[in-house]
Each structure stands twice: as C-alpha cells, then as structure tokens.
Structure 1
Amino acid sequence: MKSKIITSIRSVGSVQKHQKNNIKIMGKKLFFITVLSVSCSFGFSQGCSDAGICSIGKGFDSDEKEVKNNIEVAAIFGTGDANITYISPYIAYTKRFNDKFSLSTKVTFSSANGDFGTRAAFGDAYLIGNYTFKEVKEKQWSALAGWKFPFTSSNLKINGFALPLDYQSSLGTFDLFLGTNLKYKKWDFNAAIQIPVFNNNQNSYFDEFSASDDFPTTNLFERKSDALFRTMYTIKLENSKFTFKPNVLFIYHLGEDTFENQFGERQTIAGSDGLTINGNLISVYQLNNRNSIELSLAAPFLIREIRPDGLTRGFVAGINYRISF
C-alpha cells in the first residue's frame, strides 16, 4: 500500500513537472511573439513599399489542395510623414486551377488624410500567377509573375491644388512582377523584382509653389525598380487555432528617381535609391477549415534617405478576413 502511494505521488509530481515545462515553453513562445510585435509597432519612419512588391508574396501561399477558391477582404491602417494617416481596404480573389497553378487578382482603394485635406480613390489592380513545383526532400519551389495596373495617373487634387505622391492612391505605373519562393520545413524564403514598364504618372506637384516644405517636387515623376528578399518562419501553437508568421523584408530601390523641373529638364532626386528593412508579424486565427482572420503589424528598421514616391509609412496594421471554398 505504501509503495502504491509513493508511486502515485511520483506520478503526480512527474505530471506537474511536465505541465510546468509546457508552460515554460509556451511562455517563451509568447514572449518571443510579444517582443517581435512590439518591435514592429514602434519602428522608425518608413514603411513597406506601397508600390506593391511587399504584398505579392500572397501568391506563394500554399492552401489546402481541395480548396479551389479564396476570397479576401482587408482593411489596412497606416501613418506617414507630415501627420498623414491612411486607410486602405482591398478585396482579392485567388483561383487554384490544379495542384500547381493558381491565379490571384486584387483591387485596392486608399484614403489619405493630412494637412492638405482628405483624398480618396481606387489605387491599383493586380493580376498574379503562381506555379508550384513538386516537393523534394521537404523543399518546395514556387515561381510568380504578374502585373499591376493603375486606376489613376497619380495627379489627384484637392480644390484644384496639386498633391504630393504621399496623397496619391497609385504611382500611375504599369508594373511587372517576377519572383521565386523556397519553402523548407517551417521556413519561407522569397525574392522578387518589381519593374515599372509603362509610366503614366502625370503628377504636377512642385515644392517651390507649395506652402509646405514636407514633400519634394514630383512633377512628371519617374520611378525606378524595386528588388525584395523576404524570410519568414511559421509558428503553429499546439492544440491551438493560432498561427504566427514573423518575417523580415529587405527592399532595395535600384536607382534614383527623377522628375521634370519648371524649365522642362529632367532632374535626379539624390538619395532616393537604397535599402529599406521592414519587420512584420502576421497572426492568423483559424475560425474553421474554411474561414480565418489575419492580423498584420509592420514597421521599418532601416529607411532610404529620401522617399519622393510617398511610401513613407511609420506603422502599418492590417486585418484580413479570408473564406475558402
């Protein structure tokens, strides 16, 4: 009888020790997630490339094979230079034709509010194709190609006054996207390039004729290409509907942008090229097999010297609802 009591006590002690270890492991995971989330929330002063290259990685998502359709509805809140705030909803649809090929479309809208006033308009439409290769030894490659089509020529005005690109809903360029992704276990590594192929930017903002000194001249603006490298790690909590995807993005602007001055001469904007590094935390809550809610927090760690294209986000938060069928 005494032996049974001792065995029982040992068993209870073992269970308690195991529970404590689980709590410690869970605590470490939550601490890591919290630290990353805070670091994303209180970054420096330049956000993701609104030109679109940051968001095309959605085309690399590997959904369940039996799911053929995805619809996403999202709203994004951001802060920029000169106390500008942004609200940017979008709707997206993805069609999986087979185990290898899928096609995604997206339409964006943007509302910018600041000292100049409020201006809202549709931004861009995207068409992205994704091809997934056969998995070999836990490694799976994907290839991506697509286009971005602007809804405006980036010359929206308020009361007849020209606005800088920070207030525009699109950069007015037709852009080509090319990318590739490597998925290995819980890691994703993707690289992409965004090339402005056709420029329809008709912006007419001159800093010299404006009451504000916050924005550079962008009259008839011409933008260079962007290159991106992203690394992401997926954390799925045991017996939980939560998934966390911390990731880091390196975006290099491949040249100095230009504008046309008041004398009709094309002029280079010094310091507009260079590297931006963004931190991002994606949190996904799976409501059921076909519905999920996603929260994304992002902010920069390193910025370019000058961002005449208006891609000046100090903090970005987005919420996304996805339904699959």
Structure 2
Amino acid sequence: MGKAHRGRGAWRGAAAAAVTAVAVVVSGGGAAPTTPRAPDGAQAAASPATAAPRVTLSARDVLLAAAEKADRQADGSGDWWHSVTVNRHLYAARTGGYLVVDRTRNEGWTPAATGGEQWAGDQRLGAEPATEADRRAWEQAGAPSEIEVLVPGKGRGRLALSTAEGEARTSHTPLVDGDKVFWLGKNVTMKDLRTLPSDPGKLKKWLMASYAGHGTESTSEELSGDAWLFRVSVGLIMDMPVTPEVRGAAFRMLAELDDVKVTASVTDAEGRQGTAVSMRERYDRGGVSENRLVFDEATGRALAHEYVVVEPGGLQAGFEPGAVWSSTALIEAGWTDDRP
C-alpha cells in the first residue's frame, strides 16, 4: 500500500463483508468499548446500585486514546520494511444473482538503504461467494470454477474470476529516483518517513503542503482537504515505516477533523474485531462510500482499510448499503533483516 510511483497514481484497497454499526460505549472506569449486551438479557441482573455507569465517547476521545496506545508501540529496526496484506474486492456475477469476493495476497520488502530495490510478492487466492446465501446461489448455478462478473464503470467490460489459487510470484524494481519508497501525498524517501514531525499540527502542515485541491487518484476528482488528508493518513497509519510517535500524531490529527466518525465492534474480512474511524466520500461518477480504517483499540495497531457502500453508484453500483466493496487487511508489518 502506498508504494512510490513513477507516474500519477495512488494506493487503494480491496474486500467484501457486512458491517454492523453500534454506539461507542465504555464502562465508567475503562477506555475500551464493551461488546453489545446479550439479547437474552442475562447481564440485566446487576442492580442499579452496583452496575457501572455507561458513557458514550466522542470520536475525538476514542482517537486520542488510540494515539496513546500507538505511541507505546515498539519501533524495531532492520534492513527491510516488510508487510503482508490481503486485498479483497466485491463483484456481482453476470448471471445467478450472487456476489463474489476476489482475493489477493500481497507482500512487500522495502530497503532501509538508498539505491536498492523494492521486492514484491503476490498470489491470487481465488474468488469465493461473499456470503452463505451467495454460496447457495453459486451452487445452484452449477458451482462454476470460472465466474464471469460485472465490472462497474466499465460498460460492457467482461471479467472472469477463477475460484482456484494462482501461482505465487515475486518481482523487484529499483527505487524510484534511487531513493523514493512510498507515496504520501508525494513520493517520499525513507528518511522523509523516519523524520516526520510527531506534533499533530506540524504533521498536518507537512502533509497538506502536497494537497492541490483534487483527489489522490485523479486531478479531475474533487476532494475536500479533510477527505484528502484522511485518505493519505490512513496509508501512513496502516503500514508505513514511521515512528510510533508519528503514528500517534496521525491519530491525534484525525481527532480534530470535523466529519470523522468512530464505530465500535467492527469485524474485518479476516474475522478480527476492532474499532473503525471513517469519513464519507462522494464520487463524481456517482455513489457515496465510507472510507474507514479499522484498528485495535487495545494497541492502536491498524487491522484493515475498507470502503463501505453508503449510497450505491459508480464503482459500487448494484451493491447494498453497508456492503464492504473493497478492503485491504493488514496481516503483518515491521522491520526485518531477512532478505526476500
């Protein structure tokens, strides 16, 4: 996610799952959200005199708490920054009335030293029905091993997805300009990332110096400064080799944005439960999505970057509101001395 570009481009995610939003609620003496109470009312026996008070936290409070945890993460060291992600993207089958998720595993090694090469590994994990109901519909359609799907925004575009795993591949390329490793509003060096300011105000100023009034994908895409800052910051928090203090500063910076929202008890595509911080994006080609980062409140570590359908249209046309139509799940990220 966020590798440096030789031309115009940006990072993006990929996935599909359903999402349930609940209020962010904590006990009076704690900082982590509780899970929803059991529907059978088993927890209702506590008397008013002994039950802990229930407090709803603001998005700002949750993000500031996450920043404190992020500050305490171990930094580590090594010759390579290594990350593993699983990308997922939701598609509708052309026939049969079911949805499928296409999955790819990506691995990256970025050298700490300049003048080297970046290595990348990828493997298609195969397409699969998105839900059990979709699986039944797929089976009724003959359980095809090649599924022809619709490609939103591509008119009559045709794409066939295999349900089988593909062969793992590894490639390597020289660093852009000999030292650029990631895209963070602009192509940046490892030194840039390691010396980013840990003050949230200064970090915001550094990032916004690259904002030119448009989106990260296209100069013709209209995107507000806050939405642009959120997009770029998600990449920084997810899997870039910044210091723990800078990752904490990014959470504090997001806490000051007016339209940011926090949702508790979100399960990512890997089945991990976390808290999501999000911001809505409206697209010129149609549709509204919620761009969200799912993180572990206990550690401040990122779990996934997801796009959730709010108003179907454009690239997510035909999907129901609440569907995660694109996601990147972070499996691991950190420093290593092991060569690819």
TM-score when normalising by structure 1: 0.36
TM-score when normalising by structure 2: 0.35
Bigger relative contact order (CA 8 A; separation at least 6): 2
- Which one has the largest radius of gyration? 1
- More strand by percentage: 1
